[in-house]
Amino acid sequence: MQIRPFPGQKIQIADPGFLIKARLIRELVLWPDQALPLVGYMAWPDDSIMRERWLEAHQRNDQSTIKELTQGLKIVQQHWARVADMVHLHMDLTHSGRQRRRGGPSLSKSIALIDANAKTKGTGAAKLWEIWRVYKDVAHLVTAALLVAAQAQTLLRSAPYGLRLHQFQPYRMAMLLPDLVLAVAMSIEEYGLEHIAHGQTEPMFDPESVWRIPADINLAPVAPPARALTEKDLAVLRDRRSGNRGKPKTTPVLA
């Protein structure tokens, strides 16, 4: 990834809640040099032409093109949410210590849980594998943006300060809070590249293709929240047929 370091001393985010409230209430894009490239990688991980178009539109203040591109993020953000679910469930399985006898955490287990529990369109196993193929190399970034968005909604639910639901979109978190999103993503990137589950041979992220956050970005990592698996999740995993473990129902299509 080509993102400029944050200026000054290394940023240590000790109070994410305070930062979230301050930026969202003021609608303050404090770090455009970091926010704009970040959104570009998240939205178009395999399309350098679109990323360049996104940056040039902001450099020229081309509001028509900016509006066109941001409107196109509606479906993209739905896909980000699916990717974030996959990654967070993988981490949940690791933290819980469950499923060690069945090979430990894996994307196939995460996808099986989403497929079993979700009722909305686009949550079938085949579609989830397809979405993963598109956004797997920025999974740490989009997961971090979704986690920050969820925390923002929780913090401001009782006192919304006039903010509306669309103002908590993960795209806006990347624009207003690129330092926090990248700090959380640093922890997820480390997990996804270095943690190899018991019974597995490879990490969740592909070391050869994942978009790595620059080592000199001048940020201290922030750990994502740990969650507990529900009894329903555990029941789904227990009931998975051994002959189907680790296999998508149909061959995923690389977009």
For residue 57, tell me if it sits in a domain: no
Whole-prediction pTM value? 0.84
How many domains are there within the chain?
1
Could you list the residue range(s) of the whole structural domain that residue 174 is in? 73-244
For residue 45, tell me if it sits in a domain: no
**161: CB partners within 8 A, 6+ apart:** 21, 24, 25
For residue 27, tell me if it sits in a domain: no
For residue 150, tell me if it sits in a domain: yes
Q: How many CB atoms lie within 10 A of CB 246?
A: 15
Asked if residue 11 lies in contact with residue 179, where contact means CB atoms within 8 angstroms, the answer is yes
User: Residue 181 above 50 pLDDT?
Assistant: yes
Read off the pLDDT of residues 7-26 as tens digits, 9 standing for 90 and up: 999 999 999 988 998 898 88
**Residue-level pLDDT at 113:** 83
For residue 249, tell me if it sits in a domain: no
For residue 44, tell me if it sits in a domain: no
The residue with greater pLDDT, 54 or 159, is: 54
User: Residue 246 above 60 pLDDT?
Assistant: no
Percent of the chain with pLDDT over 90: 55
For residue 233, tell me if it sits in a domain: yes
For residue 66, tell me if it sits in a domain: no
